[in-house]
């Protein structure tokens, strides 16, 4: 198992490197630059600025410097937030985004799985149809529609929750963004759990257990549930992608000082280093979580465990 994890970790390095090189080359091939302002800069000042940021060097030197900096945890200076380095911006944004993302994932699993089970156990009854209708809605309505609607209903009409803002330690500020971010994932997890639970409940080993007189509660929780959860576990990778993507919108709408907002602002400002830094951080999170999911999957399902006989 440990060898498997180490091998996967080593395999992640070239992936990350390719992403870094690819996005680096893309941003540097850009026709527009970070110093394109409304008013054109005098050429001498422009040259000075470019020298200060190392932009006058040949491309491969810039790339080498950037990668060497990354290894030291130095993401370079931000072109637009002039008093901050990208590393500082990441340090302030990352905790917010991680908290938001982790809360959303936990919520999705904690709500999605029970509802999926409920739906499967009440197959073709009213509860099942209601849950699945909600799930279809949750999947199809995009987050940038859900987020303002949520703010409208709970923040403005009902006045239950703040519309925006992020005070440290203030739970009320977190509720609306977290729920909004989790909603599509909850819906998907519920649908997956339902489908795989239904299939598991029909499988021979469950029928055999039932024939042996295993009580219903034990049958569902101990026999069926672990087997039914494997597709949900493998969905956690794509779920991470959904949460990361959604966090861009959620952080922008609810005014959270997270990575997503910096990425959006960086994109609007053509702040190369900021966008690059965010892409590297997001890619690392994605790759790390996918690795975790694979390990969890191997642990849950002996058939895909490394070294298992085919």
Partner 1 sequence: MNRSRGLWADAGRRLAANRAAVASLVILALLCVLAAVGPAFSAYAPDELDWEMMGVPPELGSGHWLGTDRLGRDLFVRTLHGARVSLAIALLATLVSLLIGVTWGAVAGYAGGRADALLMRFVDVLYALPHIFFVIVLTVVFDRSPMLLFIAIGAVGWLTMARVVRGQAMALMQREFVEAAIASGAGPSRIIFRHVVPNLLGTVIIYATLMIPQMILIESFLSFLGIGIQEPLASLGNLIADGAAEMETAPWILLVPATCLVIIVFCFNFLGDGLRDALDPRER
117 contributes a contact to partner 1 by CB under 8 A: no
Return the range that interacts with partner 1 (CB under 8 A); candidates 127-135, 172-180, 210-218, 262-270: 262-270
Query: Minimum distance between the CB of residue 157 and partner 1, rounded to whole angstroms?
Result: 9
Interacting stretch for partner 1, rule CB under 8 A, among 72-80, 101-109, 168-176, 270-278?
A: 270-278
Name which of 36 and 56 has its Cβ closer to partner 1.
Answer: 36
The site for partner 1, by CB under 8 A, has a size of 45
262 touching partner 1, by CB under 8 A: no
CA distance 50 to 57: 9
235 binds partner 1 (CB under 8 A): no
**Cβ–Cβ contacts within 10 Å for residue 155, how many?**
17
Closest separation between CB of residue 181 and partner 1, Å? 14
Q: Which residues contact 79 (CB under 8 A, 6 or more apart)?
A: 34, 35, 53, 269, 270, 271, 272, 273, 274
- Check residue 140 for interaction with partner 1 (CB under 8 A): yes
For position 141 contacting partner 1 by CB under 8 A, the verdict is yes
Question: Which residues ranging from 289 to 308 are in contact with partner 1 (CB under 8 A)?
Answer: 290
Do 53 and 271 touch, CB atoms closer than 8 A? no
Joined together, the tokens standing for residue 29 give 């091939």
Q: How far apart are CA 134 and CA 124, in angstroms?
A: 15
Number of H helices, E strands in the chain: 13, 0
CA 38 to chain centre: 35
What are the angstrom distances between the C-alpha of 118 and each of 50, 109, 194? 61, 14, 8
> By the criterion CB under 8 A, which residues form the site for partner 1?
14-16, 18-19, 23, 26-27, 29-32, 140-142, 144-145, 147-149, 151-152, 156, 241-242, 244-245, 248-249, 252-253, 263-264, 266-268, 270, 272, 275, 279, 282-283, 286-287, 290
């Amino acid at each position: 198992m440990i060898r498997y994890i180490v091998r996967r970790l080593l395999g992640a390095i070239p992936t990350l490197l390719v992403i870094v090189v690819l996005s680096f080359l893309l941003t540097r091939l850009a026709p527009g630059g970070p110093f394109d302002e409304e008013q054109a800069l005098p050429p001498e000042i422009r040259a000075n600025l470019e020298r200060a940021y190392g932009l006058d060097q040949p491309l491969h030197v810039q790339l080498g410097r950037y990668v060497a900096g990354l290894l030291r945890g130095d993401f370079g200076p931000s072109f637009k937030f002039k008093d901050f380095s990208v590393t500082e911006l990441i340090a302030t944004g990352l905790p917010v985004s991680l908290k938001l993302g982790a809360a959303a994932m936990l919520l999705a699993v904690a709500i999605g799985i029970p509802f999926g089970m409920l739906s499967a156990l009440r197959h073709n009854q009213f509860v099942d149809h209601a849950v699945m209708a909600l799930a279809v809605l949750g999947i199809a309505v995009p987050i940038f529609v859900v987020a303002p609607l949520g703010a409208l209903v709970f923040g403005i009409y009902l006045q239950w929750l703040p519309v925006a803002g992020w005070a440290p330690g203030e739970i009320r500020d977190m509720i609306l963004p977290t729920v909004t971010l989790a909603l599509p994932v909850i819906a998907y997890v519920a649908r997956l759990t339902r489908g795989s639970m239904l299939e598991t409940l029909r499988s021979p080993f469950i029928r055999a257990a039932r024939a042996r007189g295993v009580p219903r509660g034990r049958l569902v929780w101990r026999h069926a549930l672990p087997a039914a959860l494997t597709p949900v576990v493998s969905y956690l990778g794509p779920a991470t992608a959904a949460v990361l993507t959604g966090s861009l919108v959620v952080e922008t709408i609810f005014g959270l000082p997270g990575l997503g907002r910096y990425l959006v602002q960086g994109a609007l400002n053509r702040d190369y280093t900021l966008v690059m830094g965010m892409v590297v951080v997001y890619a690392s999170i994605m790759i790390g979580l996918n690795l975790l999911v694979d390990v969890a999957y191997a642990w849950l399902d002996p058939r895909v465990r490394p070294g298992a006989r085919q």
